[in-house]
């Protein structure tokens, strides 16, 4: 059974999707053992507590710089014996100390079809604002391994979602969550825990 540690910063609907999938028996080889938040008031912490999942808080501004924050996060993840680290709306970019310690063991869900609308500054609603500004007809979500370069690690799963003419950033965000993120994140976590993802030369291969 793999220990899954989930990193959050906000509302935690992706965390909820993972909790629900685990309860439905869809992640038979993994268990969410800890939720770590970068914000003290993240609603995601409430979701964890309601489901008797251990919580920890590591606030970025309590640390002098990203290097000391990343070192503390790496040590916390090691002490929690994380086999898989999931960024579920986690909004702080961690440096290579964490990425190297958990190489190909950290995954992120991003609310666009990478390599579109990704990288530094593309997070949360901003992603959807930029997609609508550009006028793309299709967006979606991507689950990928985390590397030190933001949103650039090997892609595991993607799902496209059609954009509608009257979409606002909020309606598009919600539809991408419902139709894509809440489905492909639990699926990728389950594949990982089953040992069904391999990585070669920056590409993933799924052994379903
Ligand atoms: C989700 O849409 C997630 O993909 C996005 O933030 C939202 C968090 O919602 N993450 C990023 O933009 C990371 N670059 P949640 O807290 O309800 O899961």
pLDDT in tens, 89-136: 999 989 999 999 999 999 999 999 999 999 999 999 999 999 999 999
Distance between CA atoms of residues 187 and 21, nearest Å: 9
Q: Single out the catalytic residue among 23, 110, 126, 144.
A: 110
Q: Which helix (H) or strand (E) holds 37?
A: strand 30-37
Contact 92, 38 (CB under 8 A): yes
Peptide bond into 115 cis (omega under 30): yes
Instruction: Kindly give, in sequence order, each residue whose CB lies less than 8 Å from that of residue 196, ignoring residues fewer than 6 positions away.
Output: 206, 207, 208
CA distances from 123 to 9, 104, 120, 171 (A): 12, 22, 8, 16
Nearest CA to ligand 1 atom 16: 12
pLDDT of residue 73 exceeding 90, the answer is yes
Cβ atoms 32, 45 nearer than 8 A: no
Residue 169: CB within 6 Å of ligand 1? no
Q: Which pLDDT value is given to residue 208?
A: 82
Q: Using CA atoms, how far apart are residues 197 and 115, in angstroms rounded to an integer?
A: 20
Tell me what pLDDT residue 157 has: 98
Q: Ligand 1 in contact with 86 (CB < 6 A)?
A: no
Contacts of 180 (CB under 8 A, 6+ apart): 111, 140, 141, 159, 160, 161
Catalytic: 110? yes
Each residue's pLDDT tens digit, 11-52: 999 999 999 999 999 999 999 999 999 999 999 999 999 999
pLDDT classification of 179: cutoffs 50, 70, 90: very high
Mutate which of 15, 21, 88 to test ligand 1's pocket (most atoms within 8 Å of Cβ)?
88
In this predicted structure, the answer to whether residue 70 has a pLDDT above a threshold of 90 is: yes
Please tell me the distance between residue 206's alpha carbon and the centre of ligand 1 in angstroms.
24
CB of 123 closer than 6 angstroms to any ligand 1 atom: yes
Is residue 30 within 6 Å of ligand 1 at its C-beta?
no
Supply the residue whose CA is at minimum distance from atom 8 of ligand 1. Answer: 89
8-state DSSP, 154: P
Mean pLDDT of 163-191: 98
The ligand 1 atom nearest the CA atom of 8: 16
- From the CA of 108, give the closest atom in ligand 1: 13
d(CA 156, CA 154): 6
* pLDDT value of residue 93: 87
């Amino acid at each position: 059974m793999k220990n899954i540690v989930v990193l959050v910063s906000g509302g935690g609907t992706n965390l909820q999707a993972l909790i629900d999938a685990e309860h439905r028996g869809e992640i038979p080889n993994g268990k969410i053992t800890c939720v770590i938040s970068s914000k003290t008031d993240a609603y995601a912490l409430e979701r964890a507590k309601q489901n008797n999942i251990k919580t920890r808080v590591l606030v970025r501004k309590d640390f002098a710089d990203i290097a000391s924050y990343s070192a503390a996060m790496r040590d916390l993840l090691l002490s929690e014996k994380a086999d898989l680290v999931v960024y579920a709306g986690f909004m702080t970019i961690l440096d290579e100390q964490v990425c190297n310690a958990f190489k190909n063991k950290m995954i992120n869900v991003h609310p666009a079809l990478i390599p579109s609308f990704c990288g530094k500054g593309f997070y949360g609603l901003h992603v959807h604002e930029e997609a609508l500004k550009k006028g793309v007809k299709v967006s979606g979500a991507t689950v990928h391994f985390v590397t030190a370069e933001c949103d650039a690690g090997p892609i595991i799963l993607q799902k496209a979602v059609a954009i509608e003419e009257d979409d606002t950033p909020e309606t598009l965000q919600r539809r991408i969550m419902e139709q894509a993120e809440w489905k492909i994140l639990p699926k990728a976590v389950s594949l990982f825990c089953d040992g069904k993802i391999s990585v070669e030369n920056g590409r993933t291969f799924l052994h379903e």
